[in-house]
Structure 1
Amino acid sequence: MTIEELIELYPAGKIQQTKAPSEALSLPIDGNYFVLAKETLRETEIRLLETLFPAKEYFVDKKNHPWFGYLFNQTTLDVEGTFRIIQFQLKKPKAFLQAEWENSIIEIFPNLDDFFFIRENDGALIEKYEKNHYNLEELQSIFLTLDADFDSSTTVFVGNYFPANEHLPALFKEEQQIFKTEAENLRGKSTFSLPDVVLHYFTKEAMNQSKIVQTFAEQLVLTSEIQQIILALWRNQGNISSAAKDLYMHRNTLHYRLEKFYEQTGLSLKKMDDLVFCYLLITK
């Protein structure tokens, strides 16, 4: 995207040579900054623009982190094997013990090949594949424990394992986009991977462009309660007992709610196809 296209999309934006205060969004482009007031933008717009125009001042020692140059500057990397990149966004308290937090990460991950902050609060762990690697549930427990110990809040995207070849930087760039886009739609889950969001990520544009879906969504009244039921069923793979437990609702009460919803809409949330459709409707 050129600066002319930005001006056409955001005519209220300003071009200046210096970065604006944190209250405004400063997008580096062509040696200058295109500055927008954050209050005029949706959170999803801010994340998308930050991904399209990443900040240049990275908080990383590039000499000590060759993976950084390989992923961001297309430099060569002399490694062999299969690796995954675990991206994280870290909300820190005012008195954050960063050195201790970093030491904990190094101690916890025995297969860590590199680890660095890309920006002040965003970073990446480069983990080589070994049979004893952590699964998604174990990773969620690890970061929840760290958050409890350090009074922080961490959102984590666990990338897939890929060979360290010329294709990996491009694959990582796409994983970055998925992380930035889907982190806002987690609804209670702080650690996720591609299978958790693949359906929503790759169908939302088609859903938003479909007149049939738009008309159906307008006709379908999805109350706050039924939306919570849909999300609970989705998280529990349609299991009614588990969903009822998450909702602090008696199983028979949940059955009654599902039957009423079927009578009103013709959609049975007990059927996975109908549940998937309703899930996409409330997250599109």
Structure 2
Amino acid sequence: MINSLKQLYPNSLLNPIDLKRPEDYYHFQALENSLFIPLCELKNDQIKLLNIFSENSTSTTNSLPANPIEESWYQFLTKNSPAVPSGAESVRILQLDFYKLPEQFAYDIWKDTLKDSLDAIITILSLNERRLLVILDADRLENDTVPQLTGLITTLDDDFEVATRGIIGQIHRVSQALPSLYENELMLFNQAIQSDIFKEIQYLSDTLLNEIGHEATAQQPILANLRQQILSNSEYEATIRTLFAHRGNLTQAAEALFVHRNTLTYRMNKFTKESGFNLQHLPDLIICYLASN
């Protein structure tokens, strides 16, 4: 079995001695052999099939939940437990990845500080030393909760000298369908963290847009050509990404780029003249953003 999987996934690692970033791999255990398959190469149905055959489908670095609430959510989301956790009708899952850690990191204090800072947090699951799941009660989330949460994590990063990135998932009802929806969000997260550009907390919708952009660019020659135009000029790429991040607001985008508004307008007009896409027209801006990812 192990040898067959190794042939199917040539980038997998067999019995690695010093595995870097184990959270980026699916751990397939068979007797005394361990095969680590890059998660970015696996689809949801492949993971489910591997789970059937694997004696241990989780990373060896996984830590066990410390209390009944954590245990119930951990078993439900990662172990296919049929027992649906109680206490919330709908949830939003925040996936976090520590991509920079000091040698001495007060992991539990970081978690407890975050949990104590926001009432909407049901529990925080430790998947391994770098991965966390923050389960949020959607009914207790206010409109400003997500920006508040992002600000809290940024503050904690500064205080603990760590660097965190993550994806805030969609709102889902707590039902038997939730684990498969979480798996889909996990797959998108694993794909997103392969990029060196991804170093922040962002919404799942941003990740979906990036994924759609990759697929569309691969299928549409006109978008592939547009992508070349954008990436050939660093000013164009920065302009498009910043405009999109600020929803087309020229004043805010100019401030973020540290340029005068007139300079930004000049760059946009120059891009329109060369490409035919008007960045002040929302559909054009969205298409250019998708092509740039």
Alignment TM class, shorter chain as reference: 0.7 to 0.9
Q: Which digits, 9 at most, give the CA deviation of each residue in 1:92-129, with x for residues without a partner? A: 21121223212202211223322221011101122223
Alignment partner, residue 35 of structure 2: 34
Alignment partner, residue 43 of structure 1: none
Cα distance in 2 for partners of 1:21, 1:204 equals: 32
| 1:132 CA drift (Å) | 4.8
Change (3 A) 1:188 1:242: farther
Alignment partner, residue 265 of structure 1: 275
Structure 1 stretch 101-110 or stretch 161-170: which is displaced more? 101-110
Alignment of 1:1-284 (within 5 A): 4=4, 6-8=6-8, 10=10, 15=14, 18-23=15-20, 27-29=26-28, 31=30, 32-34=33-35, 46=38, 48-49=40-41, 55-57=58-60, 58-61=62-65, 64=68, 65-75=71-81, 76-80=83-87, 81-90=89-98, 91-133=100-142, 135-183=145-193, 187=197, 190-218=200-228, 222-283=232-293
Secondary structure at 2:285 match in 1 = helix
Secondary structure at 1:161 match in 2 = strand
Quick one: percent identity of the two aligned structures?
Answer: 22
Change (3 A) 1:24 1:149: closer
Kept in 2: contact 1:220–1:265 (CA 8 A):
no
Change (3 A) 1:59 1:282: same
Cα distance in 1 for partners of 2:182, 2:240 equals: 32
Kept in 2: contact 1:88–1:122 (CA 8 A):
yes
TM-score by length of 1: 0.82
Structure 1 stretch 198-207 or stretch 136-145: which is displaced more? 198-207
Kept in 2: contact 1:139–1:191 (CA 8 A):
no
Structure 1 stretch 23-32 or stretch 108-117: which is displaced more? 23-32
Kept in 1: contact 2:124–2:134 (CA 8 A):
yes
Amino acid at match of 2:109: E
Q: Mind listing any 5+ residue stretches in structure 1 that lack a counterpart?
A: 37-45
Structure 1 stretch 219-228 or stretch 258-267: which is displaced more? 219-228
Give the count of matched residue pairs.
Answer: 271
| 1:217 CA drift (Å) | 3.9
| Aligned-CA RMSD value | 3.0
Amino acid at match of 1:71: L
| 1:229 CA drift (Å) | 0.8
| 1:218 CA drift (Å) | 4.4
Alignment partner, residue 39 of structure 1: none
TM-score by length of 2: 0.80
Q: Which digits, 9 at most, give the CA deviation of each residue in 1:57-114, with x for residues without a partner? A: 2212377421100111121134152222221112321121223212202211223322
| 1:55 CA drift (Å) | 3.9
Secondary structure at 1:114 match in 2 = strand
Secondary structure at 1:159 match in 2 = strand
Cα distance in 2 for partners of 1:256, 1:56 equals: 51
